[in-house]
Structure 1
Amino acid sequence: MSMELDVFVGNTTILDDEVYKLWLDGYTVNDAVRARAEGGVLQRFDASVEVLHSDTMDQFRTFQMCERLLHCPSKLANQLLFQIPPQRQAVLIERYYTFDNALARELLGKKLSKGTKKDLDDVSAKTGIALKSCRRQFDNFKRVFKAVEELRGPLVENIQHHFLLSDRLARDYAAIVFFANSRFETGKRKLQYLSFQDLAFCARQLISYWTVGAVDHFQEDMDVDLEKEFLHDLKDLKILITDKDLLDQHKSLVCAALRGKIKVFNEMEASFKNLSRALVHIAAKLTHTKDVRDLFIDLVEKFIEPCRSDRWSVGDLRLFLTHYTSTAHKLDSFRHVAIWDRYMGVIKSCILKMYHD
């Protein structure tokens, strides 16, 4: 009885970037061989299909054995089974944890539970991402969330420390963790135009200015939970709309600053009180968990859509929000400037990021 064996002998582990991508994308060995062959690898190396299949299968086997180490990236540097240079380790880790924005957008704000994982078949069909890849990326989201949700210290730094990711990728994971913790509503039809990066930008603003860690770097869960005292203090902003004299004075100051500077001045003047009431009402309701979760849908329905209907340009909107915020400082009986600036700084940034088709 004869047997044929393919044997690969070496010291440094050879890892092909192209094959790694195919493996990460959820290809089977046969599909990966077909894709490599169509890419011209047989002609480049004057190889047979049998050799290509054997090489692909060996690479896939190596990646599968490395995968348990990639779940805890710090172990990759300390193991002796695979001789992988540090710079290659960094590439393997970064690419393993890189995710598709389309998938992240579908999962953003949802609980990272078994129930959500069961729905990945539908997500795969909707996004065109292979189910195997969807599951890997979902497991990565959940793994990072579980590792850092209770840790003390800055969220991005904790993610970088435990998973050895680049600053950019760690910040994107921080947004996913933040949304999964706060469960913001992102699935409504009116919010579907927003991309993952739109919402990740907003998450970074909230983390930087509204969380406990924004004011106290020694608190636990500092970058995950919104500061309750700040949210409670936002109720004090209601004076801007309940005091008629203050509301009229605020409108007068904004109109004086914007006259001749924006194309939609007449529309702004006519809708000023409604827009101001919308922004202040959103602030005053943030003491309730449900209203925190509805923050983005409220911004779209109560502020962005009215501005869209009046055909405000982004430039007009930026000028309005800038002067709307700064002129409040000139209101004699308004005593909550610090809270106002902290609130409007984030709201302005988020609105400008979300104001597009």
Structure 2
Amino acid sequence: MSVELDVFVGNTTIMDKEVYQLWLNGYTVNDAVRVRMEGGVLEEYEASAEVLLSDTMDQFRTFQMCERLLHIPAKLANQLLFQIPPDRQAMLIDRYYAFDDAFAREVLGKKLSKGTKKDLDDISAKTGITLKSCRRQFDNFKRVFKVVEELKGPLVENIRQHFLLSDPLARDYAAIVFFASNRFETGKRKLHYLTFQDFAFCAGQLINNWTLGSVDNLAEDMDVDLDKEFLQDLKDLKILITDKDLLDQHKSLVCTALRGKTKVFNEMEANFKNLSRGLVNIAAKLTNTKDVRDFFIDLVEKFIEPCRSDRWTTVDMALYLTHYTNSAHMLDSFRYQAVWNRYMGVIKSCILRMYHD
């Protein structure tokens, strides 16, 4: 009895980007076949459903075998089992470590532990992301966190070097690591309107300006730990609200600069002292771990919400914060200018990003 057997021998491992994405998204083989058929692949290649099923199964097996290498991306270039061109290796790595912003938003600031992993069923149902994909993304977050948390040097660069990620993706992972390390509160109802990218932007500001690494290139854990000496120095800023003469001078300077430039000038003038107290009190309390965790909720409650209720526009907000920051330069008895600039530079950037008018 004769048997016919078709054999194809090649050097380069064939990997279809669309099939890879379906695998990453947690599709079963049958679901992936259905999606490919709906996309017209049978007509494009004049193939049968059986060939499509066989091709999909084969590629899924290849991806599964590659997965252990993707856990340590540097191994992908040095292994001999699969012949994968460098550009295709980069694609495999970047897509494997890519994540859904909706998923990242749900776990941002939480401890990357078994307890959080138990919530993945609920997160999957809430976001519409398959459970398999949620697990991959969570495991990637945890893997990156464990590798870089003990490393010295710039956080983004460490992630980029150890996981061979593109710069934008490495920066997003740095934000995830930074939030997990400092356990910032992100789940309160008042913060629900903020996206992952809003928080990632703010994390970049904090990392670049308030951490040990922003002032000392030799510091350990430099891009994860906030600069405690700086946080302690922030208490000196209270003079802006406890010294009545200084508070009145500051208000006068800011209001003089703003008069005639905005439709909400009357509201700015009336609420100046409350808004100033809010910003300065946030600064003065950052030596406490709990207040660091509540940083974003404090910005919303003590500054953003009052401004939103008075119908400030984003332009109004930028104008106010610019003059509020710069006017302190003109206060003769204010001797904490460097600390003030370092604090308000980040505060201004974060508030403008968080203020969705």
Structure 2 partner of 1:247: 247
- 3-state SS in 2 of match to 1:333: coil
- 3-state SS in 2 of match to 1:269: helix
Structure 1's 122 and 3: CA in aligned 2 closer, same or farther, altered over 3 A? farther
Task: Provide, for residues 123-164 of structure 1, a one-character-per-residue CA deviation record: whole Å limited to 9, x for no partner.
Answer: 000000000000000000000000101100000000000000
Structure 1's 52 and 337: CA in aligned 2 closer, same or farther, altered over 3 A? same
Partner Cα separation in structure 1 for residue 2 and residue 287 of structure 2: 75
Q: What letter corresponds to residue 268 of structure 1 in structure 2?
A: M
Runs of 4 or more consecutive aligned structure 1 residues displaced over 3 Å after TM superposition? 1-8
On the 8 A contact 1:6/1:54 being kept in 2, the answer is no
Structure 1 residue 10: deviation in Å? 1.4
Q: What is the TM-score with the length of structure 2 in the denominator?
A: 0.98
Structure 1 partner of 2:356: 356
Q: Is 1:173 aligned to 2:173, yes or no?
A: yes
Partner Cα separation in structure 2 for residue 214 and residue 88 of structure 1: 35
Q: What letter corresponds to residue 335 of structure 2 in structure 1?
A: R
Give the fraction of aligned pairs with identical amino acids, expressed as a percent. 82
5+ unaligned residues in a row in structure 1: which ranges?
none
Q: Is 1:292 aligned to 2:269, yes or no?
A: no
Structure 1 residue 301: deviation in Å? 0.6
Partner Cα separation in structure 2 for residue 183 and residue 64 of structure 1: 33
Structure 1 partner of 2:260: 260
Partner Cα separation in structure 2 for residue 7 and residue 279 of structure 1: 71
Structure 1's 259 and 18: CA in aligned 2 closer, same or farther, altered over 3 A? same
Structure 1 partner of 2:332: 332
Structure 2 partner of 1:223: 223
1:262-277 to structure 2, matched below 5 A, reads: 262-277=262-277
Structure 1 partner of 2:189: 189
Partner Cα separation in structure 2 for residue 238 and residue 207 of structure 1: 24
Q: What is the TM-score with the length of structure 1 in the denominator?
A: 0.98
Structure 2 partner of 1:304: 304
Q: Is 1:63 aligned to 2:63, yes or no?
A: yes
- 3-state SS in 2 of match to 1:14: coil
On the 8 A contact 1:13/1:84 being kept in 2, the answer is yes
Structure 1 partner of 2:198: 198
Structure 1 residue 9: deviation in Å? 2.5
Structure 2 partner of 1:33: 33
Partner Cα separation in structure 1 for residue 242 and residue 301 of structure 2: 22
Q: What letter corresponds to residue 112 of structure 1 in structure 2?
A: L
1:38-187 to structure 2, matched below 5 A, reads: 38-187=38-187
On the 8 A contact 1:304/1:355 being kept in 2, the answer is yes
On the 8 A contact 1:212/1:226 being kept in 2, the answer is yes
Q: CA-atom RMSD, angstroms? A: 1.3
